[in-house]
């Protein structure tokens, strides 16, 4: 019996071993049997179904990459986006693998892809301002043209699983002003994705997610988990959210609704709710730097959160969905490390609605916002508003707080407060700057014995007193009265005082006194901001009295503005420029309408500025949103490096305007153009030793320059370049961060043609014949056109006319004259000396049209006219006048290029050059110039 059992066991083991060995053998053999078949079919699918460029380093066919799936793996894969992002990367992955249905492969000889694996990928999803997306790369099967004359073996994508592992997903939708940045993105989606309608089961985890709307961070570095069931209709491209449970840190959210992708946008109806959760769970979505505070603080209370997003989104039709938000907090309490008096009775009921995502339609209803600290201190407020720039307001704020007690209760992060704060303000009515309306308002705010210290700096701001009262009985700008008396504080032993009375905001009447001195660098450390390092010193002693109209109407004798401001070693930035300005010293004196710059030394990168003069309208500039500064200055400089001012250059300034930030993302290799401030009307008498621009060096600038209405101009400015005086009248205006337009008149007398050809790029391109020339010439030319994203000329955009005067020029080895000499048999024509010749020409659409000119060479009198292009095309006519007086001659045509001229004797028929076509609005060359086909 035992022998029989042993025999059976051995037989089972043997069969099992054979089966296992056979399976293992198949695991190795199947990839060897079908590699060409599978690779070719995967490649075919990519070519047929993707309107994109795909590249990878190698492909592999194996069971073991994603066991037990049989997969085709593509290593180091990159995939570009759809128009207009065809040059940008949509996907860059360490590996992308396609799971193959092994049954269909073995028995039906068909390649059916049923799984998709993406590992360690950067996925960059982008939507531009027009709503065009980079991920529309899939070509639907019905759009594919098939060859009906041949039988095609089945090749299809029938996904049952999508697996993303350790990916970085970035979604930047400029049209909706949304940015999502998800790191450590892990996703598994299962379902019969080949069906027209199917349920997709999703398990997702994101280690670190940021969410920005309109460049404001609403989530930063949050962990997210998702358990979702989504019904997908592939015909309608709609997604029905059935079971969608999310958890952001500890805050649970449930999503329900519908999302449908339309041809030019999407339709959305989503509700997101977090009901009956705790205030502590709600606070877990606060910025990461507050999470330690959260662990150390007793927080109680209940919260309800509801978010809805409903409507159609279509940029072309100007359709946008409605956004609504509601937050309720009840029975809230905060007690930081057993504070002497906790914050209690915290209640909040906030409802906000933004119809069609229009900020001007914004509705805010803060029904309740109140809390208590201890037995006596309290704060209560409500706000109801409609609109934004024109806003209907009904608001009230009342409170009495001991800031030290509040600080202890909250455990304010990196902040120590002291002082007694009292506030009682009511406002009701309409605010509109354009209509000069202000809500009827009464009340004030007062802070006494204030004290502020942060962890960023060891010394506090002390003795803070701030008393401000506001009164408006009629609801207009004219009736608004604001009094600040007094406002003062002491920092590091230096007191600062401000007293101000403001009334009649229609024609602002002001009476203000400011006195004090500050170590700006140290007080800036108190309010430390990452990425910036400011040092310096400021001292002010000012008396400002008057009305806005006194300055604008020229009644300067009624103004009483006096006093001084002294600045030293101040660093400041502008959103238009990549680098910071460093004010080494600035002594400013106020005298009625003028702000005098008595000593002003500043630098920007390598550039330096020594300025004296005055500004007019400084008070109005700060009071009006669209104010303009006017002034007149003298400026000296050792070096001005124009390249450093170009908008997309690298620099320490991270606070750039939105248009520049977008342009920098879109064009990382471009320098951009110089953006001219629009709110300046300033003229300067300039004296600069050296100016550097795009590899050119201009020495000894003297002349008038300035900025007016967004235009930079030069007026009779003289530069020294290649040892020649260049006189320039010019204007320059930026059109975008990557485009600009100029209009200039250049005059230069008696300069070396050879040095100009070698050292001035524009001369090199416009006068190509100068390569073989030596001697002295003069130029008088007017030209206008566009500059590209590297602030270089776009020749196709040029329009202009002028004169080149050849005082004494010798030409040797120019193929054009060598060819004429060879064709005519006249050796004296190949190296002509050209003296006292004036050549007039006109430039248009990349072509240079030459007016007829005559010169003498070797007893001959050639006359030349015609057209050439910046790219070297020729269509010239010559009449070669014969000795002795040139009365008798014969025609010659020159076509081809400067490098390969085609010369015909006794011919008047050339080859017309069709000019280039340039689109000024898009700054694009539509068509290059070319020889007209016969």
Residue 106 has pLDDT above 60, yes or no: no
In terms of pLDDT, which residue wins out, 377 or 820? 377
The stretch 197-212 carries a mean pLDDT of 86
123/79 Cα distance (integer angstroms): 10
65/70 Cα distance (integer angstroms): 8
Residue 146 has pLDDT above 60, yes or no: no
Omega of the bond prior to 759 within 30 degrees of 0, cis? Answer: no
User: Can you point out the beta strands (E) in 107-215?
Assistant: 111-127, 155-173, 178-190, 197-213
504/476 Cα distance (integer angstroms): 9
In terms of pLDDT, which residue wins out, 114 or 277? 277
- Count CB neighbours of 177 within 10 A: 15
In terms of pLDDT, which residue wins out, 621 or 21? 621
Are the CB atoms for 494 and 518 separated by under 8 Å? yes
The stretch 14-24 carries a mean pLDDT of 45
The secondary structure element, H or E, covering residue 423 is: strand 415-432
Query: Coil, strand, or helix at residue 101?
Result: coil
Please give the structure tokens belonging to residue 673: 């153009």
* pLDDT score recorded for residue 152: 40
491/416 Cα distance (integer angstroms): 15
Q: Which of 18-22, 245-249, 270-274, 500-504 has the lowest mean pLDDT?
A: 18-22
Are the CB atoms for 836 and 856 separated by under 8 Å? no
In terms of pLDDT, which residue wins out, 509 or 33? 509
Query: Coil, strand, or helix at residue 110?
Result: coil
Q: pLDDT tier at 20 (50, 70, 90 boundaries)?
A: very low
For the chain, what percent of residues have pLDDT higher than 70?
86
pLDDT in tens, 813-861: 666 677 777 777 666 667 777 788 888 999 999 999 999 988 887 777 8
Residue 925 has pLDDT above 70, yes or no: yes
Residue 717 has pLDDT above 90, yes or no: yes
* pLDDT score recorded for residue 110: 52
* pLDDT score recorded for residue 554: 81
394/383 Cα distance (integer angstroms): 6
* pLDDT score recorded for residue 529: 55
Distance of CA 421 to the CA centre of its chain: 41
The stretch 599-627 carries a mean pLDDT of 86
Q: What is the DSSP letter of 791?
A: S
* pLDDT score recorded for residue 32: 43
* pLDDT score recorded for residue 18: 44
The stretch 651-669 carries a mean pLDDT of 84
Mean pLDDT of the chain: 83
481/504 Cα distance (integer angstroms): 7
User: Can you point out the beta strands (E) in 548-606?
Assistant: 560-572, 581-591, 594-604
Query: Coil, strand, or helix at residue 292?
Result: helix
Distances (CA, A) of 10 to 1, 15, 22, 23, 475: 14, 9, 18, 20, 101
* pLDDT score recorded for residue 634: 95
What's the Rg (C-alpha) of the chain?
Answer: 38
pLDDT in tens, 302-341: 999 998 989 988 877 888 899 999 999 999 999 988 888 9
Residue 248 has pLDDT above 80, yes or no: yes
| Range ranked top by mean pLDDT from 44-53, 207-216, 674-683 | 674-683
Distance of CA 191 to the CA centre of its chain: 40
* CB-side neighbour CA atoms (13 Å) of 892: 24
Instruction: Tokens 């690298």: give the residue.
Output: 650
Query: Coil, strand, or helix at residue 290?
Result: helix
How many helices, marked H, and strands, marked E, lie in the chain?
A: 13, 48
Are the CB atoms for 895 and 921 separated by under 8 Å? no
Residue 293 has pLDDT above 70, yes or no: yes
934/924 Cα distance (integer angstroms): 28
Give the dihedral sign, CA 31/34/39/45: negative
200/189 Cα distance (integer angstroms): 6
Distances (CA, A) of 704 to 30, 800, 849, 886: 81, 24, 33, 49
Give the dihedral sign, CA 400/403/406/410: positive
Q: pLDDT tier at 157 (50, 70, 90 boundaries)?
A: low
Task: Give the list of residues 6+ apart from residue 741 with CB closer than 8 angstroms, or none.
Answer: 732, 733, 735, 784, 785, 786, 787
- Count CB neighbours of 877 within 10 A: 19
**Dihedral of the alpha carbons of 650, 654, 660, 662, in degrees to the nearest 10:** 100
| Range ranked top by mean pLDDT from 91-105, 533-547, 631-645, 765-779 | 631-645
* pLDDT score recorded for residue 6: 55
* pLDDT score recorded for residue 761: 75
pLDDT in tens, 571-584: 888 888 999 899 99
Q: Which of 237-241, 367-371, 749-753, 827-831 has the lowest mean pLDDT?
A: 827-831
Indicate the pTM of the whole model: 0.75
DSSP letters spanning 4-35: HHHHHHHHHHHHHHHHHHHHHHHHHHHHHHSH
């Amino acid at each position: 019996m035992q022998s029989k059992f042993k025999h059976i066991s051995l037989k089972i083991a043997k069969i099992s071993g054979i089966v296992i060995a056979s399976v293992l053998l198949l695991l190795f053999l199947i990839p060897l049997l079908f590699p060409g078949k599978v690779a070719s079919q995967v490649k075919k699918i990519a070519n047929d179904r993707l309107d994109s460029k795909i590249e990878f380093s190698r492909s592999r066919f194996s069971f073991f990459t994603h066991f037990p799936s049989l997969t085709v793996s593509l290593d180091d894969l990159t995939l570009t986006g759809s128009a207009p992002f065809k040059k940008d990367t949509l996907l860059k992955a360490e590996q992308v693998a396609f799971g193959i249905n092994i049954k269909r492969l073995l028995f039906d000889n068909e390649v059916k892809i049923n799984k998709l694996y993406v590992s360690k990928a950067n996925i960059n999803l982008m939507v531009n301002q027009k709503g065009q997306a980079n991920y529309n790369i899939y070509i639907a099967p019905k759009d594919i043209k098939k060859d009906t004359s041949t039988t095609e073996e089945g090749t299809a994508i029938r996904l049952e699983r999508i697996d993303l592992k350790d990916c970085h997903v970035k979604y930047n939708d400029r049209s909706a002003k949304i940015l999502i940045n998800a790191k450590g993105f892990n996703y598994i989606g299962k379902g019969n994705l080949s069906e027209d309608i199917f349920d997709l089961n999703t398990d997702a985890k994101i280690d670190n997610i940021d969410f920005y709307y309109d460049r404001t961070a609403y989530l930063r570095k949050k962990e997210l988990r998702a358990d979702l069931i989504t019904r997908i209709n592939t015909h309608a491209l709609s997604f029905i959210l059935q079971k969608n449970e999310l958890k952001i840190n500890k805050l649970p959210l449930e999503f329900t609704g519908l999302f449908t992708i339309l041809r030019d946008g999407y339709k959305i109806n989503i509700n997101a709710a977090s009901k009956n959760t705790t205030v502590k769970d709600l606070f877990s979505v606060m910025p990461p730097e507050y999470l330690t505070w959260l662990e150390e603080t007793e927080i109680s209370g209940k919260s309800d959160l509801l978010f809805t997003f409903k409507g159609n989104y279509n940029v072309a039709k100007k359709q946008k969905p409605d956004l609504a938000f509601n937050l309720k907090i009840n029975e809230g309490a905060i007690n930081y490390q057993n504070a002497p008096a906790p914050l209690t009775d915290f209640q909040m009921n906030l409802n906000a609605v933004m119809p069609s995502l229009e900020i001007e339609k914004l509705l805010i209803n803060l029904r309740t916002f109140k809390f208590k600290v201890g037995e006596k201190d309290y704060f209560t407020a409500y706000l109801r508003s409609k609109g934004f720039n024109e806003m209907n307001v009904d608001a009230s704020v009342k409170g009495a707080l001991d800031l030290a007690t509040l600080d202890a209760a909250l455990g304010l992060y990196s902040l120590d407060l002291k002082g007694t704060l009292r506030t009682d303000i009511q406002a009701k009515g309409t605010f509109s700057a354009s209509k000069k309306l202000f809500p009827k308002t009464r009340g004030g705010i007062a802070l006494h014995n204030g004290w502020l210290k942060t962890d960023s700096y060891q010394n506090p701001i002390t003795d803070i007193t701030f008393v401000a009262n506001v009164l408006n009985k009629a609801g207009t700008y004219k009736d608004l009265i604001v009094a600040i008396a007094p406002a003062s504080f002491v920092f590091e032993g230096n007191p600062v005082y401000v007293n101000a009375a403001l009334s009649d905001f229609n024609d602002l009447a002001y009476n203000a006194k400011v006195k004090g001195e500050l170590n700006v660098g140290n007080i800036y450390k108190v309010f430390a901001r990452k990425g910036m390092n400011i040092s310096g010193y400021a001292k002010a002693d000012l008396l400002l009295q008057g009305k806005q109209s006194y300055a604008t109407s020229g009644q300067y004798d009624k103004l009483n503005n006096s006093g001084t401001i002294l600045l030293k070693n101040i660093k400041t930035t502008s959103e238009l420029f990549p680098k910071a300005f460093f004010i080494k010293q600035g002594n400013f004196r106020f005298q009625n309408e003028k702000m005098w710059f008595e000593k002003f030394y500043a630098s920007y990168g390598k550039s330096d500025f020594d300025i004296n003069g005055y500004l007019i309208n400084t008070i109005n500039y700060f009071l009006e949103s669209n104010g303009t500064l006017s002034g007149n200055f003298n400026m000296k400089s050792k070096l001005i490096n124009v390249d450093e001012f170009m908008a997309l250059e690298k620099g320490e300034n991270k606070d750039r305007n939105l248009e520049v930030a977008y342009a920098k993302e879109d064009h990382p290799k471009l320098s951009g153009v110089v953006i001219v401030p629009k709110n300046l009307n300033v003229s300067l008498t300039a004296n600069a030793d050296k100016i550097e621009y795009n590899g050119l060096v201009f020495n000894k600038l003297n002349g008038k320059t300035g900025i007016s209405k967004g235009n930079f101009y030069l007026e009779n400015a003289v530069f020294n370049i290649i040892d020649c005086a260049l006189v320039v009248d010019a204007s320059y205006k930026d059109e975008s961060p990557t485009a600009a337009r100029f209009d200039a008149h250049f005059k230069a007398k008696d300069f070396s043609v050879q040095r100009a050809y070698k050292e001035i790029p524009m001369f090199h391109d416009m006068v190509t014949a100068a390569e073989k020339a030596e001697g002295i010439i003069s130029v008088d030319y007017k030209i206008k056109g566009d500059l590209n994203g590297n602030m270089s000329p776009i020749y196709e955009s040029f329009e202009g006319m002028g004169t080149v005067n050849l005082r004494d020029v010798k030409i040797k080895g120019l193929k054009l004259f060598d060819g004429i000499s060879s064709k005519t048999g006249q050796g004296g024509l190949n190296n002509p000396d050209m003296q006292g010749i004036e050549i007039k020409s006109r430039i248009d659409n990349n072509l240079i049209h030459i007016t007829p000119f005559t010169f003498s060479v070797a007893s001959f009198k050639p006359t030349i006219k015609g057209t050439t292009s910046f790219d070297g095309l020729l269509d010239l006519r010559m009449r070669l006048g014969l000795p002795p007086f040139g009365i008798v001659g014969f025609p010659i045509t020159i076509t081809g290029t400067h490098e390969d001229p085609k010369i015909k004797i006794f011919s008047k028929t050339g080859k017309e050059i069709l000019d280039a076509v340039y689109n000024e609005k898009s700054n694009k060359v539509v068509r290059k110039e070319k020889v007209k086909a016969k």
